[in-house]
Structure 1
Amino acid sequence: MQTKKFMGGKDHDINIEFLNRLLYHREELSGEEIESWLSSENNRKLLDEAAMYNRALCSFKYVSAKEKEKERLRLMNRIKSPGKQLFRWVGYAASILILVSAGLVFYMSSSDNRPEQLSIQEKINPGEFKAELVLPDGKKILLAAKEAYVDSSKGVVVKNDQTNGLVYSKNDASTDKSEKTYHTLKVPLGGFYPLLLSDGTKVWLNAGSELKYPVEFNGEVRDVYLHGEAYFEVMKDKIPFVVNLEDSRIEVLGTSFNVNAYKGDDNIFATLKSGSIAFYSEKEKIKTVIKPGQQLKMNANSGETFVRDVDVNTYTSWTEGIFNFNEMNLDEIMKIIARWYQVDVVFRDEKIRYDEYYGKMPMYSDIEDVLRKIEMSGNVKYKLEGKMLTITESKNGIN
């Protein structure tokens, strides 16, 4: 029998939601709301950690005083309203400094001036901003290892940096429209990367995913090929945009949606945020159109499809740095954890796989914090040895 477990309580979820609005939807909040929220020490610590995550995503090998100041100003501009100071703690949250060098991680904030030294071999770190670009001749470029990569061939300028990701933009050079040139962006386990295609479509690639796409779109269709998980904000155009998956495809004109199609998984999921998409199952030879707030699930073996209403944020919040485990069972949650933290998961008791859990956590959380919340919420115990994570049933549901 399927049971439901709640992680961290409602107050924790409310604080995570408020933090998300503060960082990404500042215009929705008043100065009084922010002042009140930041009066809590726990909330200030949460904001502190969020700033750390944003800094970590930039993946600078060394952080100079100049770069630290740029980060401080960026965080201030995001959180304060134009021309008006809203709270006195902005210096607190922006004082975070991450240094990654010589195999060590140092974390310092104004709440604790004592540096903490952690060996990478002793700690499983969350995912980071990294990817590999594969060119037509097979050449591979490690994007996270470069501050910039620029290529202006084929009539398209390709730029990469650790803030905006990989960006393709058209220039005035003449191009050969008879043949498409494809690039492939590969995001390893423990990675994440944004991409702006030459037609203006935005893509976020999750851990363990890859996307093959034309450097410049031409012809009667804008086609890309996905393995893994990606969130798309498709630029509206009369030319259809097609996401090709294994034994299926998704066709749109202009819309926002998430696709989860990892190799080896039993199901493929397409979740629609806005617009409309047509999902084609090659095995069933059927077309299904879904509306915003709906999710299509296709059995990867049979091709059978099923549509249900869902909370879209559950399936898109990863693009904003939040684990949202609502409506997910333990098996689904552990697949996410395995890809993000690069661990191998083993279930010793099969029946606990399908217990549902409800809760949200920052993706920059320490893996032990995530596992402890799951352990405290349900009848499970975990054991982490190196990269091996073992999940067992807890006797009598007591941990």
Structure 2
Amino acid sequence: MKETKRYIQIQTIARQLCDIMQQHELKDIGELKEWLEHNNTAIEIIKSLMDDSELSKKIELYRQQDKEQAILSLRTKIQKHQRHRVIIRISRVAAVIVLLIGCGLLYHKLSQQEKHQTLASTISSKLSPVIITPNGQHYDLSKVLTDTTHNLNIAYKSTEEIKYTYQPPAVDIEEEGYNQLIIPNQCNYQVTLCDGSVVRLNAGSRLEYPNSFPSHERKVRLTGEAYFEIKHDGRPFMVEVRQASIRVYGTHFNINAYQETNIETVLVEGKVGVSIQDSTYQEKILKPNQLSRLNLLTGEQEIVDVDVQKYIAWTTGFLRYDNDSLELLIEDLSRWYGADFDFKDNKLKNIRISASINKDTPLEEVLAMIQTTAKIKFHLIERRYIITQ
């Protein structure tokens, strides 16, 4: 019974293939196979051919057609018989075609779709950068800012950058409330402040700043990571990061404050001083190509010479690691790709790794590279990657 049913299904598929051949004027099975392999809609064609519900409909349709044709003339019966022989001949290879294309092309395409769908389900939806004004108004920077936002003093906005109207230092104003520029995971954003200074914010960061700086100083507050290019105009520029202060003397530098207790400041050019607010801690001056690592709990500060390109690689679309901990790399991947990770054994966090990762590389390719390099495995369980040895 099952074999009879399967035969009817194969024969029905064969008849559908015949219809396709006739519709597209294909001469033989070879042309049919080539047409299916190179047709962009082949996957839908094969799926429809093999769909049980669609097969049932086709079987009933062809049975009805056969009943109607049974009362036709002898000539019609002969033609039908000839076509039936073609169908039988095609039915012999129909299963082969279905296997070759259905189990090859279809399986490959569907498996790729499922792979990407599974991966997509592990990655949180991408959010947009927003500005929160001192009076509590929220502005989504992925949308067009209307005329009602003229009081923001914004001169230009795109999906990746915002520029404030330039105001010279001679303007004497009282210090006003601070805007909050909030950058979610999975994106970077650049802001040009009203003094012409440029700040590039990394994923999962926040910058607080006024629309206009007072005449005696410029001050902003940072959470997360940012690269600063400060324009010299005679006024001191201060970056407050929790209890720490970075005083700028006209310079390019990077601040990484993702961790609660440690703040890393890397100087590219110019001069900066790092200190702890409201304490007797003496400010320490950095020279170009130096890194300051400040522990807010102990007050200890380490200053070392470094390759600054490693620390600012994220501004050019790369993540660079040089004998760094696997924990650091995973934290960066979580922020950039919006995926969740858990270590099965905390000892794995201390594995050292060196790598350069293009941030446009799909996550599954990055994880495959890390598995090979660090000799670890990623297991996707309930939308989280579990890291094991």
Normalised by the size of structure 1, how large is the TM-score? Answer: 0.63
Describe how 1:133-152 pairs up with structure 2 within 5 A.
133-144=131-142, 146-148=143-145, 151-152=149-150
Q: CA deviation at 1:129?
A: 8.6
Q: CA deviation at 1:161?
A: 1.2
Q: CA deviation at 1:297?
A: 0.5
CA–CA distance in structure 2, aligned partners of residues 392 and 200 of structure 1: 48
Q: CA deviation at 1:315?
A: 1.0
Q: CA deviation at 1:327?
A: 3.9
CA–CA distance in structure 2, aligned partners of residues 377 and 240 of structure 1: 45
Please point out which of 187, 191, 195 is paired with 2:191. 195
- The structure-2 alpha-carbon separation of the partners of 1:185 and 1:334, relative to structure 1 and needing over 3 Å to count, comes to same
Q: CA deviation at 1:147?
A: 4.1
Describe how 1:117-196 pairs up with structure 2 within 5 A.
119=117, 122-123=120-121, 130-144=128-142, 146-148=143-145, 151-153=149-151, 156-163=153-160, 165-170=161-166, 177-196=173-192
Q: 2:339 matched to 1:343?
A: yes
Q: 2:242 matched to 1:243?
A: no
Deviations along 1:133-187, one digit per CA (max 9) or x if unpaired, are 001111111112x145564337x34431125x11101379x98712424211001
Deviations along 1:168-211, one digit per CA (max 9) or x if unpaired, are 01379x98712424211001122221111011111111111100
Q: 2:297 matched to 1:297?
A: no
CA–CA distance in structure 2, aligned partners of residues 242 and 257 of structure 1: 12
Please point out which of 366, 369, 383 is paired with 1:370. 366
CA–CA distance in structure 2, aligned partners of residues 366 and 386 of structure 1: 20
Q: Between the two proteins, what is the percent identity of the paired residues?
A: 29
CA–CA distance in structure 2, aligned partners of residues 321 and 125 of structure 1: 19
Normalised by the size of structure 2, how large is the TM-score? Answer: 0.64
Q: Specify every segment of 5 or more residues in structure 2 that has no aligned partner in the other structure, as ranges.
A: 1-111
- The structure-2 alpha-carbon separation of the partners of 1:349 and 1:266, relative to structure 1 and needing over 3 Å to count, comes to farther
CA–CA distance in structure 2, aligned partners of residues 127 and 192 of structure 1: 15
- The structure-2 alpha-carbon separation of the partners of 1:307 and 1:327, relative to structure 1 and needing over 3 Å to count, comes to farther
Q: CA deviation at 1:372?
A: 1.2
The alignment covers a number of residue pairs equal to 274
- Greater helix share, structure number: 2
Q: Which residue of 1 aligns with 2:327?
A: 331
Describe how 1:59-98 pairs up with structure 2 within 5 A.
none
Describe how 1:225-264 pairs up with structure 2 within 5 A.
225-262=221-258, 264=259
Q: Which residue of 2 aligns with 1:321?
A: 317
- The structure-2 alpha-carbon separation of the partners of 1:381 and 1:157, relative to structure 1 and needing over 3 Å to count, comes to closer
Q: Which residue of 2 aligns with 1:56?
A: none
Q: Which residue of 1 aligns with 2:272?
A: 277
Larger RCO (alpha carbons 8 Å, 6+ apart): 1
Q: Which residue of 2 aligns with 1:220?
A: 216
SS in 2 for 1:220: coil
Q: CA deviation at 1:355?
A: 2.3
Contact 2:271–2:287 under 8 Å retained in 1? yes
CA–CA distance in structure 2, aligned partners of residues 116 and 390 of structure 1: 23
CA–CA distance in structure 2, aligned partners of residues 126 and 373 of structure 1: 22
